[in-house]
């Protein structure tokens, strides 16, 4: 009986130079986009309330879209731990942007919802963001905006094979 070395997967073939250049260009442009997005997130959060952190803005939008949610549901929806979300909710409550109330489905649990102030501030900020994008993309035609949206969606739902 002979010993065989363990089977290993063949090394992936190197990407063609044009693909490598395209990937490098994409990585560079996404890096710029992410930096700009972080800066924009800071501005948007401050537009809702001067003491609001960017991460909390996402919680407000989620509550706006889905309605009242329990803390555990909020944490699961954004993929972070319950303690992190709990800290953000305390801040949002202190700022008067969200409130807790008894969950109608389970009186022992609390649901979190936007306050009228939270809803008003969020809508005002969203209108300003929409106007910003209108101005930013005013020289683009509709097909270009739709193509960008389609490609970004495709990127956002893409997964690396084997890393699901």
Q: What is this structure's pTM?
A: 0.69
- Residue 100 to residue 110: CA distance in whole angstroms: 6
Which domains are seen in the chain, by residue range?
Answer: 28-156 (1.10.10.10)
pLDDT tens string 95-105? 999 999 987 77
pLDDT tens figures, 7-60: 555 566 666 667 888 889 999 999 999 898 888 888 888 888 888 888 888 899
> What are 157's two structure tokens?
């739902």
Look at residue 7 in the predicted model and tell me its pLDDT.
Answer: 56
39-45 long-range contacts, CB within 8 A, separation 24+: 44/125, 44/129
Q: Using the predicted structure, report yes or no on whether residue 116 has a pLDDT greater than 90.
A: yes
CB 58 within 8 A of CB 69: no
């Amino acid at each position: 009986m002979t010993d065989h070395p363990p089977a290993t997967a063949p090394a992936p073939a190197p990407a063609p130079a044009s693909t490598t250049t395209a990937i490098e260009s994409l990585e560079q442009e996404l890096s710029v986009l992410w930096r700009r997005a972080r800066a924009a997130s800071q501005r948007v959060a401050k537009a809702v309330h001067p003491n609001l952190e960017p991460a909390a803005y996402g919680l407000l939008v989620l509550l706006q879209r889905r309605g009242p949610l329990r803390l555990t549901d909020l944490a699961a929806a954004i993929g972070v731990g319950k303690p992190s979300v709990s800290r953000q909710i305390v801040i949002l409550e202190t700022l008067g942007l969200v409130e807790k109330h008894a969950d109608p489905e389970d009186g022992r649990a609390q649901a979190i919802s936007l306050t009228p102030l939270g809803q008003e501030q969020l809508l005002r900020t969203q209108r300003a963001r929409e106007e910003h994008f209108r101005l930013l993309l005013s020289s683009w035609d509709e097909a270009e905006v739709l193509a960008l949206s389609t490609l970004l969606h495709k990127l956002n739902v893409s997964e690396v094979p084997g890393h699901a």
